[in-house]
Amino acid sequence: MAKEPMLKFVDVARDMPAKRMPDLRRQDFDEIYSEYATEKAAEQASRCSQCGVPYCQSHCPLHNNIPDWLRLTAQGRLREAYDISQATNTFPEICGRICPQDRLCEGNCVIEQSGHGTVTIGSVEKYITDTAFEEGWVQPIRPHAERGESVGIIGAGPGGLAAADLLRRQGIQVTVYDRYDRAGGLLTYGIPGFKLEKDIVMKRIDQLTDGGVEFVMNCDVGVDLTFDAIRGKHDAVLIATGVYDSRELQAPGSGSEGVVRAIDYLTASNRKSFGDEVPEFDSGELDAEGKRVVVIGGGDTAMDCVRTAIRQGAESVKCLYRRDRANMPGSQREVQNAEEEGVEFVWLSAPKGFDSNDDGVTGVIVQKMRLGAPDATGRQTPEIIHDADYLEEADLVIKALGFSPEALPTLWDVPELEVTRWGTIMADFKTHATNLEGVYACGDIQRGASLVVWAIRDGREAAEAMITYLSENVSVAAE
Ligand SMILES: Cc1cc2nc3c(=O)[nH]c(=O)nc-3n(C[C@H](O)[C@H](O)[C@H](O)COP(=O)(O)OP(=O)(O)OC[C@H]3O[C@@H](n4cnc5c(N)ncnc54)[C@H](O)[C@@H]3O)c2cc1C
Ligand code: SF4
């Protein structure tokens, strides 16, 4: 029997995989953390206390069986660790890289609570599946038998892809429609390579294509193909379109040239990483090189923008946020990474307007703020400090204020599709069924801007519900 090497958290300190030096990181879009060596992964996994009630597991949206795969990794039984890890997570190597672990699994690790530093769960999860790919253990999608029913999925982000994977493994015919030219959604065009290298995502797309999932790209549903046509073609439909309506600033001058939306800026940069021609980047409009850049916002999108601007060779990069460091929504780990790379944070500051000349924006008029009384949610409300405005000079201003859903019932001409007062699709949170027969919704378009791991969970749950629906209501023999 394999020896039990666990509970080492008192003797072995928490140790993340090596992080590249900021000077090197600034020069490329490669990931900043290296991979654990085998011994290191085993050592770090052995710190797990195997506690009776694993809070890490209950705070992981996928309820990953974390203590078991940590124990198997510590014992060197990596193949089994991989089998357990992939049973609950469609893309463990992606979650291991980009989940905000400090708010999920690791933030609830019992040894962290006792002051020993959390087990590096995300890094071990990434290591297990990266190794599985290298060793050829990742299973291709080969259904035992083909089924005749077909599902149309609108949106090739993590939600849609997680559903496609499960449906296809059951032999169901799956077609994924997306308006972009590449699949992956925000994994491909939103999140920069320094958090998630693109070949990691493309490997999964290849796996799905090889397993028989059909991708119809450059297909903007509502423009190139009607929603009704998709419903007519398939026995069930999953809407997994994410949220793409950028929140706007209502401030004088916000329409000036050089004041751009985060999603356009990040998409252009990610496209360049693929080697694409991007006219808006090549013209300089969406390129930060040599510019004084100001990013407005305090979430993960803002963090991705500031760090992208650094890598593009900006002269200076500042992040304006109206609350303080302790109250920002973005991950503290990302703030630290950004600071190491040379980003300056300007806390308690909000844009009041923009100065510009014939060439475009020249600066942001900044209003200073203080934190007032807590609102109904308990968060302190920012209040303006009068007569403290100043001009922050800038040649490129990036608005990263969050995203709202597009008005799908109108855009798709399906007024009967029920949405919430926020515009997200109203669907059951377990089955993901909408009010339309055979139509399901998952990911950000159902829950609002959220996380990759939640989109994966939703996609998996929606797929399970659709399989039941198809079996009970449709059942078509394969040709
Ligand atoms: C810049 C940025 C950084 C982020 N960083 C992180 C992070 O580090 N960690 C994390 O967990 N989460 C992060 N998130 C959030 C995460 O990316 C999303 O929660 C997740 O991608 C949602 O998945 P989804 O499948 O619902 O939608 P998406 O990933 O948005 O995919 C939706 C897909 O639907 C397609 N689509 C939309 N409308 C149509 C249409 N009409 N016709 C056809 N196709 C359509 C889109 O082209 C897209 O490919 C980040 C988000 C952003 C914007
Ligand atoms: S999926 Fe995310 S939350 Fe769950 S164990 Fe992995 S890193 Fe943690």
Averaged pLDDT, groups of 10, the chain, 479 residues long: 66 88 96 91 92 93 97 96 98 97 92 86 96 95 96 98 98 98 98 97 98 98 98 98 94 94 98 97 97 96 97 98 90 92 97 95 97 86 94 97 96 98 97 98 97 98 98 74
d(CA 299, CA 288): 20
d(CA 268, CA 398): 13
How confident is the model at residue 2, as a pLDDT? Answer: 47
Amino acid 178 reads: D
For the chain, helix (H) and strand (E) counts, in that order, are: 19, 16
Of the listed ligands, the closest to the CA of 456 is 1
Q: Whose CA is nearest to atom 4 of ligand 1?
A: 191
Structure tokens at 299: 């979430």
Q: Is 10 exposed, middle or buried (0-12, 13-18, 19+ CB in 10 A)?
A: exposed
How confident is the model at residue 1, as a pLDDT? Answer: 41
What is the reported pTM?
Answer: 0.96
SS3 391: strand
> What atom of ligand 1 comes closest to residue 459's alpha carbon?
25
SS3 content of the chain, % helix, strand, coil (to 5): 35, 20, 45
Q: Is 272 exposed, middle or buried (0-12, 13-18, 19+ CB in 10 A)?
A: middle
Q: Whose CA is nearest to atom 4 of ligand 2?
A: 60
Q: Ligand 2 pocket: which residues have CB below 6 Å?
A: 60, 62, 64, 66, 89, 95-96, 99, 101, 104-105, 121-122, 125, 453
Radius of gyration of the chain (CA): 23
Q: Whose CA is nearest to atom 41 of ligand 1?
A: 221
Q: Ligand 1 pocket: which residues have CB below 6 Å?
A: 98-99, 154-160, 177-180, 185-186, 190-191, 195, 219-222, 240-242, 266, 300-301, 304, 443-444, 450-453, 455
331 within 8 A of 451, measured Cβ to Cβ: no
Structure tokens at 11: 């003797």
> What atom of ligand 2 comes closest to residue 62's alpha carbon?
4
Residues 6+ apart with CB under 8 A from 335: 303, 325, 328, 345
d(CA 1, CA 20): 39
How confident is the model at residue 11, as a pLDDT? Answer: 81
Tell me how far the alpha carbon of residue 101 lies from the centroid of ligand 2, in angstroms: 6
How confident is the model at residue 479, as a pLDDT? Answer: 57
Tell me how far the alpha carbon of residue 452 lies from the centroid of ligand 1, in angstroms: 8
Task: Name the H helices within 312-451.
Answer: 332-340, 408-411, 444-447
